[in-house]
Structure 1
Amino acid sequence: MAGRNGRTVRDLRRGNRTAVLQRLYFDGPLSRFELGPATGLSSGSVSNVVADLIADGLVEEAGSVDSDGGRPRTLLRVAPDSGQMIGVDVGETRVRVELFDLALTELARVERPLTPQGYDVEVITGHIRDGVAEVLTAQGAAPDRLLGVGVGVPGIVEHTPDRGAVVHGQTIGWDAVPLEQLLRSASRLPDAVPYLIDNGAKTLGQAEMWFGAGRGARNAVVVLFGSGVGACLVTPEVEHGRAVEWGHLTVRVRGRRCRCGAPGCLEAYAGAESLLARWREEGGRPPEDTDEETALTAMLAAAYPPEGTAPDPVALAVL
């Protein structure tokens, strides 16, 4: 039966369950007493919802804490084994695929290195599809327990009604790539499993706001320094963050040529790829035949060596 606002009893029940699960997931463990103010539900509603969620295996008890003069309060948390998630990071140097339980415990991981020419669309989609299959097989996981696959990618992500997530990535040579369609076309996952695809800096920003340094903040800028430079801006008006092409802000007129083609971008000075190139140009000696992360680690070690060892003046100056 629908109420005056058009919501049915089922809608109300689903909304109450969602509210309790969200608070337990992001802020738990919490007691039933704490869930009331956190969700805006009455104590009776909290008790009913929690009983249902425990019966469904979605919530479990997680110890107890002393209360002020009363009985100890039982703490509740989302049951880690009640579902699984996959995270995919399409980085500058590799594609990483990880399987997690609901406590964000890593259950399996697969990495595929990328060459400088490795941003071929078929290569990337193949790495993602194979990686998803591998982490599920390694853990013996059932795809029907999978809640979703989150994918962070370089570039601007457009969410369209007919093609799903479409990626526009100038620096990686992607022009309106229908990534979601491509992943689904040969996917072994059930159609009901969602792909949640967005800009990598934005996904990092969201993670920091949920679980990291941004918790409790209403305004934040989360900066990503990698091969390139990105940022995520979070404000009350943009609750889930907005990806900012900060790396392509011009910091020097007629400066170094950026890989995007423009002169003087921040990325041309502060990105890892550019730092290593500048170190080499100015007489430094990056290790040969290594990946970018290893070479950058060597540059940092040269610039900031253990106490008693002289720093590499070129590496220090570039940094």
Structure 2
Amino acid sequence: MGGHDRRTVRDLRRSNRAAVLRRLYFEGPLSRQELAPATGLSSGSISNVATELLAEGVLEQAGSVGSDGGRPRRLLRVAPHCACLVGVDVGETRVRVELFDLMLGEVARSEQPLDADGHDAEFVVRLIEKGLTAVLAHVDAATGPLLGVGVGVPGIVEHPADGGALVHGQTIGWDAVPLEAMLRESAGFPGGRFPNSGRTDGDRVPLYIGNGAKTLGQAEMWFGAGRGARDAVIALIGSGVGACVVTGGEPYAGASSSAGEWGHTVLSVGGRACRCGARGCLEAYVGAGAVLERW
């Protein structure tokens, strides 16, 4: 006997809204007529969802296109200034924090150099706090509320079921650093909430932490050369070397979240010394430091 569908009317409404927003975010602007076959929803459902989202300011009109003999079709798109996002990149030489509108237009940026303290975890957290304070000062009614913060870091990111993200980064000296807990508990986030976030719901702002190469790969699949592809490998070659493996349209992490840690694949047993402590790693041959040293 088949199981019962336990979804409520609220669940169905949220699902329909998500389907419409996803299509418009990645493929818009689109007309209501185009949205129906693209989402699999009925024209009535599309009309209801679009009307709600337009009234809430999440969508906006984006002109019109001609139709075959009928009235012009009005195009819809996600309103860029209905909300904002923060991205944090913990790099080799600096910590960059940027505030974006919902369509990833840059609103504000702060860069903090990594000095003699290097990648000491507490020092990096202080730099992230400083950058967040600077960019969140630009959050106001014109930007909309802060939806979330994403942090890209070097190394393997573990997401245990009973706690926040842990970061394992050999090259920067991090061993199971509880970065999510450190950010939540830091002075920059009183009560686990972000100051000047523009949120009125009292909820904590979502905080997402991931490997930098994998976040780059996801962005490439969404907005770059990988759009429309289901399987791809996106390589990141800089001071460090990494990759994002995408299969079936989703980034592949592997059993231990280490898939794509390409830079520390051993090419030559007993070869050139790598900063991770091993010898013969790919990074020791093609990483920026190795290339500058040899040429």
Match of 1:119 in 2: 119
Q: Distance between the aligned counterparts of 1:36 and 1:140, measured in 2?
A: 34
Q: Distance in 1 between matches of 2:80 and 2:29?
A: 12
For structure 2, the 5+ residue unaligned runs are 195-201, 254-258
- Secondary structure in 2 matching 1:176: strand
- Equivalent runs, 1:43-192 vs 2, <5 Å: 43-115=43-115, 117-140=117-140, 145-186=145-186, 187-188=189-190, 189=194, 191-192=203-204
Measured in 1, the distance between the counterparts of 2:263 and 2:172 equals 14
Unaligned runs of 5+ in 1: 280-319
The aligned counterpart of 1:246 is: 262
Letter in 2 for 1:108: A
Shift of 1:140: 4.5
In 2, the alpha carbon distance for the partners of 1:61 and 1:106 equals 22
Instruction: Tell me how far apart the structure 1 counterparts of residues 113 and 228 of structure 2 sit (CA, whole Å).
Output: 36
- Find the aligned partners of 2:141 and 2:156 in 1 and give their Cα distance: 32
Give the whole-Å Cα distance in 2 for the aligned partners of 1:4 and 1:240: 32
Structure with the largest fraction of helix: 1
Q: In 1, distance between residues paired with 2:81 and 2:142?
A: 12
User: For the Cα contact (< 8 Å) 2:25–2:78, is it kept in 1?
Assistant: yes
Distance, in Å, in 1 between the alignment partners of 2:111 and 2:161 is: 31
Runs (4+) of structure 1 exceeding 6 A deviation are 141-144
1:112-165 CA-partner distances (Å, limit 9, x unpaired): 111365100011111112211110114557998110000100111111233211
Counterpart code for 1:201 = A
In structure 2, what is the Cα distance between the partners aligned to 1:255 and 1:115? 30
Preserved CA contact (<8 Å) 1:89 1:96: yes
CA contact 1:136–1:143 (8 Å) conserved in 2: no
Paired residue for 1:262?
278
Distance, in Å, in 1 between the alignment partners of 2:232 and 2:260 is 12
Q: 2:225 is matched with which residue: 196, 205, 213?
A: 213
Give the deviation of 1:4 after TM superposition.
4.0
* Cross-structure match for 1:225: 237
* Match of residue 285 from structure 1: none
| 1:77 aligned counterpart, secondary structure | strand
Query: What is the letter of the counterpart of residue 274 of structure 2?
Result: C
Larger radius of gyration: 1
Report the more deviating stretch, 147-156 or 157-166.
157-166
Partners in 1 of 2:206 and 2:123 — Cα distance? 21
TM-score by length of 1: 0.82
Residues 108 and 139, structure 1, Cα contact 8 Å, conserved in 2: no
Report SS of the residue matched to 2:176: strand
Aligned pair count? 276
Question: Which range moves more in the overlay, 90-99 or 162-171?
Answer: 162-171
Distance in 2, matches of 1:172 and 1:141, equals 39
Task: Report the Cα distance in structure 2 between the residues aligned to 1:140 and 1:234, rounded to whole angstroms.
Answer: 37
Partner of 1:271: 287
Contact 2:154–2:169 (8 Å) recurs in 1: yes
Q: Determine the C-alpha separation between the residues in 2 that align with 1:10 and 1:75.
A: 27
